[in-house]
Amino acid sequence: MNDSRVPVLIVGAGAAGLTTAALLAKHGVRSLLVEKRRETFIYPKARNLSFRSLEILRGLGLADEVHAVADGVSNMLTKPALNSTEVRQAFDVDAIFSPFDGLSPEPSGQYCPQSALEPMLLAHIRRHDSEVRYGTELCSFERDETGVTAVVRDLDSGDWETVRADYLVAADGVHSPVRDALGVPTSGHGVLPIYVVFIYFRGPWRQFAPELGDGDAIQVDNDDVNGIILPVRGDFGMLVTTYVPGRGEPAVQFTSERCREVLIKAIGEPIDVEVLEATPWQPYERVADQFRCGRVFLVGDSAHAMPPLKAGGANCAIQSAHNLAWKLAAVLTGIAGPGLLDTYQAERHPIGRFSARQSLTGPSLHLLRLADSGPGLPTDEEAPMFALLIGHQYRSAAVISDEPGPADPDAVALVAELHGQPGTRVPHVWVGAQRVSTLDLLGPGFSLLIGADDARWQRAASRAATALNVPVAVHAIADVGWARATGLAPEGALLIRPDDFVGWRADARPTDPEAELQRVLSEILACG
- Check pLDDT > 60 for residue 373: no
Predicted local confidence at residue 369, as pLDDT: 60
Let me know if residue 414 belongs to a domain.
yes
Q: What is the pLDDT of residues 142-182, one digit of tens each?
A: 999 999 999 999 999 999 999 999 999 999 999 999 999 99
Let me know if residue 502 belongs to a domain.
yes
Predicted local confidence at residue 250, as pLDDT: 55
Measured at the alpha carbon of residue 181, what is the angle toward residues 176 and 186, in degrees to the nearest 5?
60
Residue 436 CB-density burial (10 A; 0-12 exposed, 13-18 middle, 19+ buried): middle
pLDDT confidence band for 211 (50 / 70 / 90): confident
**By the 8 A CB rule, do 451 and 405 touch?**
no
| Residue 348 host element (H or E) | helix 342-358
Let me know if residue 330 belongs to a domain.
no
167 contact partners, CB below 8 Å, separation of at least 6 = 7, 8, 9, 147, 148, 295, 296, 297, 328, 332
Distances in Å between the alpha carbon of 458 and those of 175, 280, 401, 420?
A: 50, 58, 22, 20
Predicted local confidence at residue 159, as pLDDT: 95
Let me know if residue 142 belongs to a domain.
no
- What is the span of the domain harbouring residue 463? 391-528
Distances in Å between the alpha carbon of 384 and those of 99, 275, 388, 416?
A: 11, 40, 7, 10
Residue 453 to residue 475: CA distance in whole angstroms: 8
Instruction: Supply the CATH number for residue 430's domain.
Output: 3.40.30.120
Q: What is the pLDDT of residues 419-459, one digit of tens each?
A: 999 999 999 999 988 899 999 999 999 999 998 888 999 99
Let me know if residue 130 belongs to a domain.
no
The mean predicted confidence, pLDDT, of the chain is: 90
Is residue 353 classed as helix, strand or coil in its secondary structure?
A: helix
Let me know if residue 278 belongs to a domain.
no
- Check pLDDT > 80 for residue 374: no
Q: What is the pLDDT of residues 473-526, one digit of tens each?
A: 999 999 999 999 999 999 999 999 999 999 999 999 999 999 999 999 999 999
Which of the two residues, 131 and 75, has the higher pLDDT score? 131
Let me know if residue 395 belongs to a domain.
yes
Residue 460 to residue 495: CA distance in whole angstroms: 12
Q: DSSP per residue over 193-230, as a string? A: S-EEEEEEEESSGGGG-TT--TT-EEEEESSS-EEEEE
pLDDT confidence band for 195 (50 / 70 / 90): confident
| Residue 355 host element (H or E) | helix 342-358
The domain tally of the chain equals 1
Query: How far, in whole angstroms, is CA 295 from its chain's centroid?
Result: 21
Cβ neighbours around 271 below 10 Å, total: 15
Beta strands (DSSP E) in 28-159 are 31-35, 48-50, 76-79, 89-91, 109-111, 131-134, 136-144, 147-154
Q: Look up the pTM and report it.
A: 0.94
Residue 133 to residue 341: CA distance in whole angstroms: 26
**By the 8 A CB rule, do 230 and 193 touch?**
no
Q: What is the pLDDT of residues 229-255, one digit of tens each?
A: 988 888 889 999 887 665 555 555 678
Let me know if residue 184 belongs to a domain.
no
pLDDT confidence band for 184 (50 / 70 / 90): very high
pLDDT confidence band for 194 (50 / 70 / 90): confident
What are residue 165's DSSP bridge partners?
6, 148
**By the 8 A CB rule, do 99 and 1 touch?**
no
**DSSP letter assigned to residue 392:** B
Predicted local confidence at residue 252, as pLDDT: 59
Position 133: which residue type?
R
